[in-house]
Amino acid sequence: MAYFSKLNQYKDAGLLIIRVGLGAMFIYHGYPKLMAGTEGWAGLGASTKYVGINFAPVFWGFLAALVETLGGFLLVIGLAFRPVCLLLVINLVVAAAMHLGKGDGLQGAAHAIEDAVMFAGLLFIGPGKYSVDKR
């Protein structure tokens, strides 16, 4: 459509919208997990059993919460963008495996899968020019 043909010149603005929107939501969801303490981290980290990791659930839970929270902030500003995307993909694969393993089916795992696909794509695209990592 002719109306949308010129939007390609604003791809960096589109990447900024994606980064800020997803980053803010990951901070929103991750911060309470980060503040939950060892009991909360143990529950969160127990999800790694669905990918064959059966040790140190507190450690894995803390890392998952940290990746969500700090990773969300780094997404917003566009710093260490590709490593953060990779860590979030790993985090979301575990989340999807947990939902599938608990019997939630594809409906329960869909959000984690959708976000993992988005971050996998962003890993290749990069943060855009409106970022600390701009090139």
The pLDDT, as a whole number, for residue 66 is 98
pLDDT at 135: 61
39 contacts: CB under 8 Å, gap ≥ 6 = none
Is residue 42 exposed (0-12), middle (13-18) or buried (19+ Cβ within 10 Å)?
middle
pLDDT single digits (tens) 79-96: 999 999 999 999 999 999
pLDDT at 8: 86
Closest CA to 46 of 69, 30, 62: 62
Confidence of residue 3 (pLDDT cuts 50, 70, 90): confident
Across the range 70-76, mean pLDDT stands at 98
pLDDT digits (tens, 9 = 90+) for 11-63: 999 999 999 999 999 999 999 999 999 999 999 999 999 999 999 999 999 99
pTM (whole model) above 0.85: yes
What is residue 4's predicted lDDT score, i.e. its pLDDT? 85
